[in-house]
Amino acid sequence: MRKGSRVWLRLVLPGSGSLSDRSGGGRMAAFRLTVVRHGETSYNKEKILQGQGIDMPLSETGFKQANAAGVYLSNINFTHVFSSDLLRAKQTTDSILGNNQFCKEIAVKYDGRLRERKYGVAEGRPLSDLKAMAKAAGEQCPSFTPPGGETLDEVKARAQDFFEHLCNLIACEVCPGKQASPSNGRKGTDATEGHSTSLLAKYDSGLQFHSDSNGAPEVLDADVLVVSHGAYMKNWIGYFISDLHCPLPASLTKTELSSVSPNTGISQFIITLEMKNKIKPKIHCICLNRDDHLSSITAENMSH
């Protein structure tokens, strides 16, 4: 539901009564969202469109990338893990969790809303064919929709639907009988201790994660991992920026913003939820499409 330029999400709670009835007034919840693109497939390397209909496994390089991403994220105690149900995303998720110190046995939720954009008749064909189709139609990529494919608006609707589901899920878990206070003893990820501080500092985002900064509480209520696909992720992040007014790191260039994430590129966001009768999400981008973890793999490939 939109009021002016702001986006509000309807709060769906089990049982009767509004959130303010249950908690004695509005409160805040916060979670970190880590979004990772799947590792490389042979079709990625050959610039052949996979979309939803071509379910390729990771290549040897793709498995190395996924492993490197897993090592890079190994100190994050993820509370929720979601993945596209396509094989390349599933294999990437498995590699990430296999390296994790805390959640090797966590249940992964596979969600069709996280699938890559559907490219219809262009799937299994070179990207150059899609560009030729667009040119013949007097259009340009990526706005061109091949026959049988999804429009950008349809992809955005999928991404928005998933994000609203995620916010409602976290809100419902956090809500019952608790206030937005770091001293209430709730079980969350302390963003002022251990790996979380170093992780935030590493990204040099200028985000001070305390209750007196950006309205954020000191404790994260959840740490969410999502593994998805390049075109989908670009559209989803576009929704964050255009609809939810997500601020971006000052160091980010226009080229970096417009680029598709590299394979196993990592983006992270801190999301705070203002919870009254509805949820108002506020998003702060920590990093976008980072690939620091791939430096050794890139060097190895260049040496061959």
Ligand-binding annotation for 118, yes or no, is: yes
Ligand-binding annotation for 37, yes or no, is: yes
Amino acid identity of 160? Q
How far, in Å, are 14, 148, 160 from residue 136 at the CA level? 52, 17, 31
Check 116, 123, 150, 218 and give the catalytic one.
116
Compute the distance between CA of residue 268 and CA of residue 33 in angstroms, rounded to an integer.
6
Ligand-binding annotation for 218, yes or no, is: no
Compute the distance between CA of residue 34 and CA of residue 222 in angstroms, rounded to an integer.
11
- The H or E element containing residue 87 is helix 87-98
Is-catalytic flag, 38? yes
Is-catalytic flag, 116? yes
Place of tokens 């009767």: 16
- The H or E element containing residue 167 is helix 152-174
Compute the distance between CA of residue 143 and CA of residue 80 in angstroms, rounded to an integer.
33
* Residue 263 phi, psi (nearest 5): -60, 130
Ligand-binding annotation for 125, yes or no, is: no
Cβ contact 71:99 at 8 Å:
yes
Angle at Cα 37 formed by Cα 10 and Cα 304, nearest 5°? Answer: 175
Ligand-binding annotation for 188, yes or no, is: no
Ligand-binding annotation for 143, yes or no, is: no
Ligand-binding annotation for 41, yes or no, is: yes
Ligand-binding annotation for 116, yes or no, is: yes
Beta pairing, strands 80-83 & 222-228 = parallel
Which residues are annotated as part of the binding site? 37-44, 88, 116-119
Residues involved in catalysis: 38, 116
Question: Which residues are documented as binding site for substrate?
Answer: 37-44, 88, 116-119
